[in-house]
Structure 1
Amino acid sequence: MKTAGRPGLPALALPASMIVSFLASAAAPTPLYASHAGAWLFSSLTTTIVFGTYTVAVPAALLLLGRTSDHLGRKPVLLTALVLQILAMVVFSEADGVGGSRRHRRPRRGVPGPAPPRLTVNPARSSTQSPSRRGETVVPARRPGVGSLVLLASIVVSFLAASSAPTPLYATYARMWEFSPITTTVVFGVYAIAVLLALLVLGRLSDHVGRRPVLLAALAVQTAAMVVLTTADGAGALLAGRVLQGVSTGGALGALGAAMVDVARGRGTVANAAAPGIGTGTGALLSGLLVQYAPAPTHLVYLLLVGVFLLQGVAVALMPETVSRKPGARAAVVPEFTVPAGLRGPVLAAAPILFAVWALAGFYGSLGPALARQLSGSSSVVLGALGFFLLAVVGSLATVVLGRMAPRTGMLVGIAMLVVAGTGTLVAVDQSSTVGFFSSTAVAGIGFGAGFQGGMRTVVPLVAEHERAGVLSAVYVVCYLGMSLPAVIAGVLVVHGGGLAAATRDYSWFVVALAVMTLVALLRLKAPAAAGCQDTPG
């Protein structure tokens, strides 16, 4: 029997060097405590608390995670730890206070003197514009342009492509690890729940610390998620990777959406509506093609995405910041689901259609591939991914084509298309028609694009600069609730109800009923004011 080669001396030297570097990085802040205390005006007590926090976090992590490598293997744990260590270094390099809020040196007691002017770098603001407050200095800086908008949209695309990359692999995972459709929908749903929690906790953070630090952190965590998924050897590791993906995506969505609107309000709003569909569809189809025709189907797509995230991280580090920092970072991470009073009407008008169209996306992302294969009688992974791809890409095209339509009209068109698509799916399942299923999917894509862009354009252009990430996070909470809850219920119905076809019929009736209720809600609400979408920064 052929035995695997044992690790040699280099394999021993590498972990030893990692221990040295990790502990060196732990000690690196020590000589800086005095300078930080002078710059940020904290006491010796704060210094000991900062040091003590690290010493408490280490044993806590040892208790919670110390045995993880005995089950997942050493490499995934070490790679994840390296990514988190890099993330910590990014946070340190961006730090401007003990809790993320900007502080300034006060005059000593008894020595009067004016407080130094606050230096604000806001690339989204004209350098010739006079300061808005006394004592504030606005300095010229590079303004983010079209390149920044393209970069930000590409990150949305890659994050949502990564989120849909496992979709064509669910059947492969189910065969390898022998789990049921309920497990498939739980794996799908746990991602959406992690996104929701991250949106609630981290959604407003970039309004205070800036967009770039949040995006760099999210890219680091997304890279760690790809490492976990690449090395997954069971449903538990798959769930862990999906949770990391959800935390990363939820933490980034508000910052990405806000940054795109910071750069260009009109094009940024359109990009907010179009990029998610492009990413979701591209990820599903690309993953399906790689699974079908490329080697290492459960590894290659994740490794390619790691390369993309690393390149995007470098680009974000070089990108100009799009918003000035402001105090309140610690309060911003307290979970809160609030909308400014002036925006509650538009958000209430948009929420039902956003929930409905994302509920449809949740079905195609979880059970759609299995339904496509069952109706066609084919085991092709690409065919299974085609439905999700078609929904997302048609939805993105509809977003662009219908972009000049009034937002309320867009939502009404979306409702109508959802009813048509749901009815068409019912007929396709009854007739076992593959053509009917994909035709209904295309119609559903039009409904998704029209409804989603109508809802986004009802809300996004009205949001003030330092509220954008928070409001967009609240909007995405509605979307991901729609995406997760109905899909998990559908998975339960597949196993404990009448099977996949019966669950699809129930889900189609649910979508039709949801569309009708959305129409009633939209007609009862006062029409929101038309939102302008001019390409002005800020």
Structure 2
Amino acid sequence: MPARFRLTPPVAFAVVAATFVWFLAASSAPSPLYVVYQERFDFTEFTLTAVFAVYVLALIAALLVVGALSDHIGRRPVILAAIGLEIVALVLFLVAGGVGWLLAARIVQGVATGAATATLPATLVDLATKPGRAGLVNGTAPLTGLGLGGLACGALVEFAPAPTRLVWVLLLGGLLVAALLVALIPETIERRPGALASLRPRVGVPPRLRAGFSAVVPTLLASWSLSGLYLSLGPSVVTEVFGVRDHLVGGLVVAVLCLTGAVTGFLLRGRPPVRVLAPSAAVLAFGTLVTLAGVLSGLLLVATVGTVVAGVGFGAAAFATFGTLSTLAEPHERGELFAATYTLSYLAFSVPAMIAGLAATVAGLRPTALVYGGTIVAVGVVATVLGRRVAAPTGPEPVPAGSPTT
């Protein structure tokens, strides 16, 4: 396509950020619907978390295979392929008639989101024209998408007709628009050899980046494990533990955590991300502890306050981890670095949640939530202690070759 039809870097940055939000909104949309599907298709808590987990396993597989592909063939082709797969997944949700359809939809969605998740953050760093902007958006866009997806889907399930159909139609429409706009963004990577070799599954962080990467790991584990609990079992806990059957409230469980986190990340802009690592873990642990007090006492208000506090910690953790990572890598390293980061993140997101689903089927939701949350508190405390010892780069993001400087 002629260069005159390409979007300018600031407009392209906005398009990529919006696409990132939309992908994550689609990924959280099933959360308020799990209870509906569970009643309609008559399956257990373990099956529910299996539907949740196959998505994450497929996502991790995609990260391992295509995580570094955009470093070789370019960002735009990988993003467009991811959008195409996501459209297929949403069509499968639209026609779903049983658990098998849900599993298939979530697997395809996992592959699509994995490819997008490895590529969109790197593209944002490439297109950023101001220091710190990519780190801020990479920290807040996923949380915004997760929160809006859960909230909007919960509202549609509660108030709109055809709750298991309308949400997918709306998401499909947004993705079609995204595909048209992404086709117009400028390519930020020059093609280079090694594309086929890059498809060999592996997880790796370039040696020179490992010290900075290890600095974010404890906080990453605590925050993503918490989000896995909320997105997999959160609406079910609201229904069974607190006796609230309003689907909008189920969506609000996800939205309160994630949107509070997104606002927190935005308010922290300008702070050195590495200095936020320890405080974010401490707030996350405290908020989770308050939430557990609400679950133990059966008081929804206490659990809600705890969720808001945990959301502050969650958003601060996202800002700290992705902001720190955005300072580390050169353009040709970003795809691989973000792939490794999200592989670890989604393992923390999915494996504990699937174990919790099995435990909930055997022992019940309340004790499972208490043990799961208690473990997150412990990890958060460890992350707080380790975060205080971190010494990592806090300079501005490297400016991609050919990008305007400020």
* TM-score above 0.5, yes or no: yes
Please state whether the residue corresponding to 1:482 is helix, strand or coil.
Answer: helix
1:322 Cα offset (Å): 1.8
Corresponding residue number in structure 2 for 1:333: 199
1:276 Cα offset (Å): 0.1
- Superposed, 1:143-162 pairs within 5 Å as 144-162=8-26
Please state whether the residue corresponding to 1:295 is helix, strand or coil.
Answer: coil
1:510 equivalent in alignment to 2:353: no
In 2, the alpha carbon distance for the partners of 1:529 and 1:178 equals 51
Structure with the larger RCO, 1 or 2 (CA within 8 Å, 6+ apart)? 2
1:373 Cα offset (Å): 2.5
Corresponding residue number in structure 1 for 2:164: 298
Please state whether the residue corresponding to 2:72 is helix, strand or coil.
Answer: helix
Corresponding residue number in structure 2 for 1:30: none
In 1, the alpha carbon distance for the partners of 2:94 and 2:309 equals 35
In 1, the alpha carbon distance for the partners of 2:69 and 2:398 equals 26
Corresponding residue number in structure 1 for 2:33: 169
The correspondence for 1:255, drawn from 119, 126, 129, is 119
| Contact kept in structure 2, 1:164 and 1:284, CA below 8 Å | yes
- Superposed, 1:300-315 pairs within 5 Å as 300-315=166-181
Residue 217 of structure 1 aligns with an amino acid whose one-letter code is A
Please state whether the residue corresponding to 2:163 is helix, strand or coil.
Answer: coil
1:406 Cα offset (Å): 2.3
Corresponding residue number in structure 2 for 1:234: 98
In 2, the alpha carbon distance for the partners of 1:437 and 1:534 equals 41
| Contact kept in structure 2, 1:366 and 1:487, CA below 8 Å | yes
Residue 155 of structure 1 aligns with an amino acid whose one-letter code is T
In 2, the alpha carbon distance for the partners of 1:267 and 1:404 equals 9
Please state whether the residue corresponding to 1:200 is helix, strand or coil.
Answer: helix
| Contact kept in structure 1, 2:328 and 2:393, CA below 8 Å | no
| Contact kept in structure 2, 1:254 and 1:472, CA below 8 Å | yes
Corresponding residue number in structure 1 for 2:137: 271
Residue 345 of structure 1 aligns with an amino acid whose one-letter code is A
Residue 404 of structure 1 aligns with an amino acid whose one-letter code is G
Corresponding residue number in structure 2 for 1:57: none
In 2, the alpha carbon distance for the partners of 1:216 and 1:153 equals 14
1:456 Cα offset (Å): 1.2
Corresponding residue number in structure 2 for 1:39: none
Corresponding residue number in structure 2 for 1:404: 270
1:378 equivalent in alignment to 2:244: yes
Q: TM-score, normalised by structure 2?
A: 0.95
In 2, the alpha carbon distance for the partners of 1:449 and 1:476 equals 16
| Contact kept in structure 1, 2:278 and 2:388, CA below 8 Å | no
In 2, the alpha carbon distance for the partners of 1:263 and 1:512 equals 37
Per-residue Cα deviation, 1:228-254 (whole angstroms, up to 9, x for no partner): 011111111101100000000101112
In 2, the alpha carbon distance for the partners of 1:219 and 1:485 equals 26
In 1, the alpha carbon distance for the partners of 2:110 and 2:204 equals 21
- Superposed, 1:462-481 pairs within 5 Å as 462-481=328-347
1:143 Cα offset (Å): 7.3
Per-residue Cα deviation, 1:161-182 (whole angstroms, up to 9, x for no partner): 1111111111111111110111
In 2, the alpha carbon distance for the partners of 1:319 and 1:373 equals 44
Corresponding residue number in structure 2 for 1:500: 365
| Contact kept in structure 2, 1:411 and 1:452, CA below 8 Å | no
Distance 1:160 1:142, change over 3 A: closer
The correspondence for 1:442, drawn from 301, 308, 318, is 308
Residue 342 of structure 1 aligns with an amino acid whose one-letter code is R
1:257 Cα offset (Å): 0.6
Corresponding residue number in structure 2 for 1:198: 62
The correspondence for 2:285, drawn from 419, 436, 445, is 419
1:533 Cα offset (Å): 4.2
Greater Rg by CA: 1
Corresponding residue number in structure 2 for 1:11: none
In 2, the alpha carbon distance for the partners of 1:144 and 1:496 equals 55
1:521 Cα offset (Å): 3.5
In 1, the alpha carbon distance for the partners of 2:20 and 2:222 equals 21
Corresponding residue number in structure 1 for 2:254: 388
Identity, % of aligned positions: 39
| Contact kept in structure 1, 2:135 and 2:324, CA below 8 Å | no
- Unaligned runs of 5+ residues in structure 2 are none
Residue 116 of structure 2 aligns with an amino acid whose one-letter code is A
Per-residue Cα deviation, 1:327-379 (whole angstroms, up to 9, x for no partner): 11001111111111111001001011111101000000011111123344221
| Contact kept in structure 1, 2:220 and 2:345, CA below 8 Å | yes
In 1, the alpha carbon distance for the partners of 2:296 and 2:77 equals 51
Residue 220 of structure 2 aligns with an amino acid whose one-letter code is L
In 2, the alpha carbon distance for the partners of 1:459 and 1:338 equals 14
Count of aligned pairs: 400
Residue 374 of structure 1 aligns with an amino acid whose one-letter code is E
| Contact kept in structure 2, 1:144 and 1:263, CA below 8 Å | no
1:286 equivalent in alignment to 2:152: yes
Per-residue Cα deviation, 1:105-162 (whole angstroms, up to 9, x for no partner): xxxxxxxxxxxxxxxx9x9xxxxxxxxxxxxxxxx99674221111101111111111
| Contact kept in structure 1, 2:7 and 2:185, CA below 8 Å | no
Distance 1:405 1:228, change over 3 A: same
Per-residue Cα deviation, 1:12-44 (whole angstroms, up to 9, x for no partner): xxxxxxxxxxxxxxxxxxxxxxxxxxxxxxxxx
1:530 equivalent in alignment to 2:394: yes
- Superposed, 1:188-227 pairs within 5 Å as 188-227=52-91
1:227 Cα offset (Å): 0.5
Distance 1:143 1:342, change over 3 A: farther
| Contact kept in structure 2, 1:144 and 1:321, CA below 8 Å | no
1:396 Cα offset (Å): 0.6
Q: TM-score, normalised by structure 1?
A: 0.72
Per-residue Cα deviation, 1:475-507 (whole angstroms, up to 9, x for no partner): 11111011001111111111112x111111101
1:319 Cα offset (Å): 1.7
Corresponding residue number in structure 2 for 1:244: 108
Residue 469 of structure 1 aligns with an amino acid whose one-letter code is G
| Contact kept in structure 2, 1:182 and 1:488, CA below 8 Å | yes
Give the number of the structure whose residues are more often helix, by fraction. Answer: 2
1:448 Cα offset (Å): 0.6
| Contact kept in structure 2, 1:357 and 1:448, CA below 8 Å | yes
Per-residue Cα deviation, 1:271-300 (whole angstroms, up to 9, x for no partner): 111100000010111111111111111111
In 2, the alpha carbon distance for the partners of 1:215 and 1:401 equals 29
Per-residue Cα deviation, 1:392-427 (whole angstroms, up to 9, x for no partner): 000011111112222232111111112211210221
| Contact kept in structure 2, 1:458 and 1:531, CA below 8 Å | no
Corresponding residue number in structure 2 for 1:182: 46
